[in-house]
């Protein structure tokens, strides 16, 4: 038999900076700003979809974007310091759109005729639902219940889950890029060209600028190109969808943004609480917990760290619950989860440094208070971000599939579990998505709106469906006989904090806090 020249490797070998190593300060600051630019896409898209439906004005939308960025910076800093300590950006999540749409369509809110008043009352209802629902993650995290559940995970079970964290976001890739192909296609080709074909070209000293800063370079070039198209009147008589996607002066972002605005808790007024709204929102909290778990696994691999032990995973989920509580207190219009695109950026730049993400959190907080400056960056057309998503979501998906190297993929049992969980993880949410209408009706459509929102949210999440299928099958089909085939001999040492000596290096709390919160 031929020698295996590509044996399984616990850590990726061609990354240049791991979680605890840092590039020189100029590179670190530029990389941090690159992370900030990347997460602007989701931070602008979500309020753009929701605020006007709530009755808000352009000024309200800008204020929500500022608040979302401000809280994202706080949550990212808390997660990097006290949570999993992985270089993961925490930002707004699309997982919350279905329950938020249910709240927006609530008859008691729709009866309010004044648009501004309806926006304020809807925002307060969303805040109340987020505050109550955040208790799910706080309890499951700090009680270590999620860590205990994670003991049922194996490389075989996690491979499709992490894979679907990337693959399941395909609708935010080429479908959005296709809304403005004259911007999106050049952006996609330029990113691939610079980051892959020209990555070894070093025009400035020994810094691989095309590999380190492809987002900054490509966004700047295509953004200037799109500004020229907008100024020349290329989209003057185009359909509304085209103008919304292509123009750089869309919806008065810059003109309505204040020069300075400091977001603060309860800025929209006291939250209102409804049992139905809260139950609906809990589904999104559960989905964000599953998706974040997969993103943490991918981030650990791209940061050359060990997979986060159960204790660290629970700690991160607990802090994420605190983050959702902050979302509710400040009024960000949506809850938080780990930004998948920023996880992919770790691999694209080959830099998994924690410090980079911590400084990027500072950029989020700083620019969120300077409204005009933040609005300028937020005017970047959506197809530019969609082109980046095509590369970065695909990279995260491939990182998930790399866990299969620790399993026996010559086993029919493993092939069935992997194939079924991947297929159903894509197919079931797509089936639910087909029934989604502008009237916020989903496949599950009973008289109980909160129940509809709960199930439609759960089964519209590829990662959640994939986890249900993969973890169930992996822990019920020939479990004892298949321990080695599932990859458990490699995985078991990462279940506990003290199972591997490297865990202490990667995940120990700063400021000697482990004295007060000893790992279990």
Nearby residues of 256 by Cβ (< 8 Å), 6 or more positions away: 57, 58, 59, 61, 62, 375
List the domain range (segments joined by +) for residue 268. Answer: 25-497
- Whether 518 is covered by a domain: the verdict is no
Query: Is residue 515 situated within a structural domain?
Result: no
Compute the distance between CA of residue 478 and CA of residue 475 in angstroms, rounded to an integer: 8
Angle between helices 462-474 and 412-434 (to 10 degrees): 150
Q: Specify if 6 maps to a domain.
A: no
19 within domain boundaries: no
Instruction: Tell me what pLDDT residue 513 has.
Output: 77
Encode pLDDT of 471-505 as tens digits: 999 999 988 888 888 988 888 888 787 777 888 88
Token couple for 178: 């296709």
- Domain assignment present for residue 78? The answer is yes
Would the pLDDT of 337 be above 90? yes
SS3 236: coil
**224, part of any domain:** yes
Q: What is the mean pLDDT of the chain?
A: 89
Q: How far apart are CA 320 and CA 134, in angstroms?
A: 9
Position 348 in a domain: yes
The answer to whether the beta carbons of residues 99 and 457 sit under 8 Å apart is: yes
Please give the Cα distance from 474 to 478 (Å, whole number). Answer: 8
Mean pLDDT highest for which of 6-15, 88-97, 491-500?
A: 88-97
Residue 204's SS3 state is strand
Question: Tokens for 363?
Answer: 């950029």
Would you state the pLDDT for residue 441?
A: 65
pTM for this one? 0.93
Question: Three-state SS for 238?
Answer: coil
- Number of structural domains, the chain? 1
Q: Which of 98, 115, 419, 124 is CA-nearest to residue 282? A: 98
Q: Enter the tokens of residue 114.
A: 């004044």
Can you tell me whether residue 409 is helix, strand or coil? coil
Residue 221, helix vs strand vs coil: helix
Tell me, yes or no, whether 214 lies in a domain.
yes
């Amino acid at each position: 038999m031929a020698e295996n020249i590509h044996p399984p490797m616990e850590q990726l070998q061609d990354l240049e900076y791991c979680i605890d190593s840092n590039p020189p300060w100029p590179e670190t600051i530029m990389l941090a700003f690159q992370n900030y630019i990347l997460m602007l896409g989701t931070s602008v898209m979500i309020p753009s979809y929701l605020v006007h439906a709530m009755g808000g004005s352009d000024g309200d939308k800008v204020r929500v974007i500022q608040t979302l960025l401000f809280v994202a910076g706080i949550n990212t800093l808390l997660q990097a310091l006290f949570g999993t300590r992985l270089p993961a950006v925490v930002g707004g999540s699309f997982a919350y759109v279905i329950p938020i749409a249910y709240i927006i369509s609530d008859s008691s809110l729709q009866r309010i005729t004044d648009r501004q008043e309806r926006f304020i009352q809807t925002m307060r209802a969303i805040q109340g639902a987020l505050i109550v629902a955040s208790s799910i993650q706080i309890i499951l995290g700090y009680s270590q219940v999620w860590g205990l559940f994670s003991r049922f995970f194996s490389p075989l079970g996690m491979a499709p889950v992490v894979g679907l964290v990337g693959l399941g976001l395909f609708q935010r890739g080429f479908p959005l890029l296709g809304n403005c192909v004259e911007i999106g296609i050049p952006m996609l080709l330029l990113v691939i060209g610079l980051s892959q074909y020209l990555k070894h070209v070093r025009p400035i000293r020994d810094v691989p600028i095309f590999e380190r800063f492809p987002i900054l370079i490509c966004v700047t070039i295509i953004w200037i190109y799109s500004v020229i198209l907008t100024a020349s009147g290329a989209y003057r008589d185009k359909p509304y969808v085209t103008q919304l996607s292509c123009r750089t002066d869309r919806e008065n972002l810059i003109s309505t943004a204040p020069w300075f605005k400091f977001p603060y808790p309860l800025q929209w007024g006291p939250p209102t609480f409804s049992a139905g709204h809260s139950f609906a929102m809990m589904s999104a909290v559960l989905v964000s917990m599953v998706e974040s778990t997969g993103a943490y696994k991918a981030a650990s691999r791209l940061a050359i760290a060990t997979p986060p032990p159960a204790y660290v995973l629970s700690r991160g989920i607990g802090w994420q619950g605190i983050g959702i509580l902050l979302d509710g207190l400040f009024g960000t219009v949506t809850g938080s989860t780990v930004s998948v695109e920023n996880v992919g950026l770790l691999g694209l730049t080959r830099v998994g440094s924690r410090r980079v993400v911590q400084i990027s959190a500072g950029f989020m907080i700083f620019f969120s208070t300077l409204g005009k400056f933040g609005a300028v960056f937020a005017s970047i057309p959506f197809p530019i971000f969609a082109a980046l998503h095509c590369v970065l979501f695909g990279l995260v998906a491939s990182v998930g599939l790399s866990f299969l190297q620790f399993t026996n993929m010559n086993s029919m049992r493993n092939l069935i579990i992997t194939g079924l969980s991947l297929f159903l993880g894509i197919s079931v949410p797509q089936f639910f998505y087909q029934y989604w209408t502008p009237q916020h009706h989903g496949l599950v459509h009973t008289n109980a709106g909160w129940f509809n929102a709960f199930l439609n949210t759960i089964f519209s999440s590829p990662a959640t469906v994939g986890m249900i299928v993969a973890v169930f099958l992996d822990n019920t089909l020939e479990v004892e006989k298949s321990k080695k085939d599932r990859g458990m001999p490699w995985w078991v040492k990462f279940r506990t904090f003290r199972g591997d000596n490297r865990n202490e290096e990667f995940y120990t709390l700063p400021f000697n806090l482990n004295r007060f919160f000893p790992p279990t």
